[in-house]
Amino acid sequence: MSKYRYAAAPSEHTVELRTGEVPQPAADGVVVAISYCGICATDTHGYTSGGLPPAVFGHEWTGTVSAVGEDVEGLSVGQRVVASVGPACGSCAQCRAGHTENCDVAFAEANGVTPDSPAHGGFATAIAVPARRVLPVLDALSDEQAALVEPTAVTFHAVKRARQPLGAFVVVQGGGPIGLLTAQHARHAGASRVVVVEPNEARREVARELGFTEVLEPGEEFTRYVFDTSNGLGADVLYECTGAASLFQASAELVRRGGTLALLGFPSTTSEVSYPDWQIRELTVIGSLAYNHEDFVGAMHAIAGGAVNVDVLHTGTIGLDELEATFEELDNGTSRHAKVLVDPRR
């Protein structure tokens, strides 16, 4: 049996490249030969602090099915697939109560904590996963685009949950990959205006390349702009994509009375907010984490149809041997990259 390689993050600031026997599929599973795996902020956090579920360290992957379990239907060797979560299970407490969009099994799969979660993530040459955890890739998508389906699904899910009204004045806080994907979904959902605020000039330039014309640096001038151009009201919907705890209340104060604050960024510390301010202004606050199975379907169609451009976000490709150095670069804030893809075949 041939060998394969995979990466693990067993402790802080450490990447271990390990070798093992190529896995065999479970009866209800498949083995996927990885083509690309994207690096996201969660992976970088796992590298710097440790403690991520093993399956989550490298969760933005795509590849080709190399083996199929005996009980699997609808998937075949040679088929291109992307990492996903399964459809609502129909039997967990949430599903039995009719809340299939909050299926406990799919949510646990998204967080890599189900009993059948893979032993490691997609920073690998191969991975064995339950068949319900993969989704065939649309023919119109390239392999590189398929590797960006997962973050596109994250942001698709968030905009869907925000129930953004047609013609909304939208502010997107943070111009990294998540922010720029969110801004594109918001535009596609019918926003009349999308303002992107981002401190990094290179990221602001990418936002402009994507067709956004209201792109500003954070600060007093940005705050004045939001209110001056909205007749003093503020944003109908603000998507907070930075995860900076210190921005929580400041973000809420940019939203008009009766508007929506949608939270995508995940803070590592607690935040202080003004309870009476939120209550008096009747804010709707929407939390969003991960996705549902159908969000992956919607994300792929958004990319294939041109509503979302992921190509401009892909700024570099590395091999497994370059993983640790790349994490250090991403962590120290000096990186020029938006989205780095790992090609384990290099």
- pLDDT band at residue 297, thresholds of 50, 70 and 90? very high
Per cent of the chain over pLDDT 90 is: 91
Mean pLDDT of 291-312: 97
Each residue's pLDDT tens digit, 98-142: 999 999 999 999 999 999 999 999 999 999 999 999 999 999 999
Compute the distance between CA of residue 316 and CA of residue 314 in angstroms, rounded to an integer: 6
pLDDT at 1 > cutoff 70: no
Compute the distance between CA of residue 187 and CA of residue 333 in angstroms, rounded to an integer: 29
CA geometry: angle at 289 spanning 246 and 174, to 5°? Answer: 45
**Going by C-beta distance under 8 Å and a sequence separation of 6 or more, which residues neighbour residue 169?**
191, 192, 193, 195, 230, 233, 235, 236, 237
pTM metric for this prediction: 0.96
DSSP class of 138? P
DSSP strand pairing (126-130 vs 60-68) = unpaired
Sign of CA dihedral 107, 118, 264, 296: negative
Each residue's pLDDT tens digit, 184-238: 999 999 999 999 999 999 999 999 999 999 999 999 999 999 999 999 999 999 9
| Mean pLDDT of all residues belonging to the chain | 95
Q: Provide the CA 88 distance to its chain's centre, in angstroms.
A: 20
- pLDDT band at residue 178, thresholds of 50, 70 and 90? very high
SS3 state of residue 325 = helix
Residue type, 320: L
b/e code 307-327 from CB counts within 10 Å (16+ = b): ebbbeebbeeebebebbbebb
Q: What is the pLDDT of residue 55?
A: 95
Each residue's pLDDT tens digit, 281-295: 999 999 999 999 999
CA geometry: angle at 239 spanning 234 and 241, to 5°? Answer: 135
Mean pLDDT of 173-192: 97
pLDDT at 320 > cutoff 80: yes
Residue type, 2: S
Residue predicted with more confidence, 243 or 196: 196
Lowest mean pLDDT, pick from 51-55, 116-120, 177-181: 51-55
- Say how many CA atoms lie within 13 Å of 134 toward its Cβ: 33
Mean pLDDT of 173-182: 96
**Going by C-beta distance under 8 Å and a sequence separation of 6 or more, which residues neighbour residue 115?**
none
Q: What is the pLDDT of residue 226?
A: 98
- pLDDT band at residue 271, thresholds of 50, 70 and 90? confident
Compute the distance between CA of residue 128 and CA of residue 313 in angstroms, rounded to an integer: 28
Mean pLDDT of 304-312: 97
Token pair, residue 325, equals: 């150095």
Each residue's pLDDT tens digit, 140-158: 999 999 999 999 999 999 9
**Domains in the chain, ordered, with CATH?**
3-148+310-342 (3.90.180.10), 153-287 (3.40.50.720)
